[in-house]
Amino acid sequence: MSLPPDGHVHTEWSWDTVTGSMTGSCERALELGLPSVAFTEHADLTPWLIPAPVRPLLPDHFRVRLRPDGVLEPPDLDVAGYLACVEECRARFPSLRILSGVELSEPHWHRPRADALLAAHDFDHVLGSVHSLPGDDGHHHEVTVVSDPPAEVLRAYLTEVLGLVESTADFAVLAHIDYALRSWPGEGPPFVAADFEAEFRTVLRALASSGRALEVNTKVPLPGEVVRWWFEVGGDAVAFGSDAHEPGLVGHGFAEAAAMVEAGGFRPGRTPHDFWRR
């Protein structure tokens, strides 16, 4: 079976990506035989507080974005420069289907900015993401299960993702529903999907009725149960995304992910670059 398209790749046009390369990512996609690749650069709309002990440890390209109060303010995406680069790659790699895209961070909190960005540009592929949560101190915080009990962070994350999915924010694919699992501690009780079945199903049901697609993000392996629940609640479409921030990770883990999604009841779409369907 051929590999699915990679619908979630970052390049040098994402502010947090120093190892990115659009050209290199196209070459890697061709090498792997991927039918298409979508460059979904960050439009990070929410500034978030970096805890004081972490600030000196930040890489330079993060530290230069720090305000004096310790809040990290991501820069705007240079859409014109980015889209020009997409055009260059399309000309250079005509056998690869290259989609333009954007990953909107918490667009439901920033409707005027998110709506204006999408109105001004014709992106092929729009992801909706949650990366941060509101804290008690009036700031937003990166989603991490390091400081708080992991189960609590995951539940808070899924509650916010539900808010995103239930909103009318304009995006076609829910990115990384399992984002909070990336920092699940190696020590202590392991993650058990069944413990969070009700919370996942609530999000998945809302996603299905919104008509949007579920992304299987391969940065960490998505528990197969989530895809099965997506099928059971009537979910229609599955997108695959490596979330690569360097060319070597384009299509990472896709063979395993495709097998898992197929076991969950989904099949490749009518064309190789389509979403997978039930």
Residues that bind Zn ion (CB under 5 A): 103, 129, 243
The owner of tokens 């991927």 is: 34
Q: How many CB atoms lie within 10 A of CB 271?
A: 10
Classify strands 173-174 and 36-44 as parallel, antiparallel or unpaired.
Answer: unpaired
Residue type, 21: S
CB of 182 to Zn ion, least distance (A): 10
For the CB of residue 125, give the shortest distance to Zn ion in the complex, in Å: 12
Residue nearer to Zn ion on the CB measure, 7 or 268 = 7
Output 162 or 178, the one with its CB closest to Zn ion.
178
If the CB atoms of residues 9 and 231 are measured against Zn ion, the closer one turns out to be 9
d(C-alpha 183, C-alpha 123), whole Å: 31
Our CB check for Zn ion shows the closer of 129 and 144 to be 129
Q: Which is nearer to Zn ion, 180 or 231 (CB)?
A: 180
Q: How far is the CB of 263 from Zn ion (least distance, A)?
A: 25
Q: Which two tokens stand for residue 47?
A: 């500034």
Nearest approach in angstroms of CB 1 to Zn ion is: 25
Minimal distance, residue 150 CB to Zn ion, in Å: 19
Taking the complex as a whole, the smallest distance from the CB of residue 270 to Zn ion amounts, in Å, to 27
Cα–Cα dist 83/81, whole Å:
6
Alpha-carbon gap, residue 100 to 264, rounded angstroms: 29
* C-alpha–C-alpha distance, residues 78 and 43, integer Å: 10
Shortest Å, Cβ 238 to Zn ion:
17
Residue among 125 and 205 whose Cβ is closer to Zn ion? 125
Question: Collapsing DSSP states into helix, strand and coil, what is residue 223?
Answer: coil
Cα–Cα distance, 269 to 15 (Å, whole number): 33
H or E element, residue 160:
helix 150-166
Name the residue among 214, 216, 218, 219 with its Cα closest to residue 230. Answer: 214
**Best CA proximity match to 154, nearest among 145, 141, 142, 164:** 145
The residue (of 100 and 129) whose beta carbon lies closer to Zn ion is 129
